Each structure stands twice: as structure tokens, then as C-alpha cells.
Structure 1
């Protein structure tokens, strides 16, 4: 059951990133770009969680997962604060 949930979370994040990048390509709104990069990072974070819990259960990949999530969030934060139109 955990594999299904981890997979659905990763797919949802990747789908959101794809939809945001499509919207960015149509409108060229910078906030959509930063949001799509953030959701791509969050999807990658969920894939790392999937690998951590299911493929490598004896190896601790929590530092990698936390780093990916933090980087994705910081990218969105940069886009929210320092990008101005």
C-alpha cells in the first residue's frame, strides 16, 4: 500500500510541474516558471522517498530527501521574493 501512495505522490507532483510548465510556455509568467521548477523538485523528492523506503530500506537517504525538498522550496521562495515585474 505504501508503494502505491508514494508513487501517486510522485506522479501528482510531476503532473503539476508539467501543467505549470505548459502554462508558463503560453503566458511567459515568471511565477509559473518558478512554481514548475519547485513542483519538479517536489516530484523528485517523492521519487527519492520511494527509493528510500522501497528500494534501499537499509540505507538512510533522508538527508538527500530533505536537501531536495529544501532546494525546491528555496527556488520557489526566490521566485516569490526577488522576481519582480
Structure 2
């Protein structure tokens, strides 16, 4: 990929995941469906992951934020998995 496109792609990924998280949270507040809550938390954590990618690769290129990036990704998946299991039991 061209070097000039990388910041745009990273920014678009962050904006998209943050927007999805906000829209899901807004619909959760309106309807009260718990699966929307877990999905919005997952997308919020994915947005935090994308923001960490931006900071790691563009703002502080000499730093190594791989562990926080992986932690945000794992947390996002675990939150959604917990939500699926929690809603399955009820």
C-alpha cells in the first residue's frame, strides 16, 4: 500500500468502528436490548484498538504498543463472547 494512504486507512477504520459503537449504544439506550450493549462495547474496544494503532504507527513510530493493541482486541472479543453467553442463559 502506498505510504500516503496508510494514515487515511487507519483513520477511516477508527472512525467507522467508533461510529458503529456509538450507533449501537444509542439503539441500546432506546430499546434496552442487551445484545446491543455488548456489541457497542465490543466496537468501542475495537475503536480503542484502532486508535492505539494510529498512535503506535503514526504518532510515536519508535514505540512498541503491540501488547496494548492485542489487549484491546482480546477484550473486544471477550466482551462480545460474554454477552452472547450471558444472553443465551436468560
Query: In which range does the TM-score fall when normalised by the shorter chain?
Result: over 0.9
1:54 maps to 2:58: yes
Unaligned runs of 5+ in 1: none
In structure 1, the partner of 2:30 is: 26
Aligned to 1:79: 83
* Cα RMSD (Å): 0.8
Q: How many matched pairs?
A: 85
TM-score w.r.t. the length of structure 2 is: 0.90
Runs of 4+ in 1 over 4 A off after TM superposition: none
Question: 1: CA distance between counterparts of 2:30 and 2:72?
Answer: 28
Deviation for aligned residue 1:72: 1.1
Max radius of gyration: which structure?
2
Equivalent residue runs for 1:8-47 within 5 Å: 8-47=12-51
What TM-score, normalized to structure 1?
A: 0.95
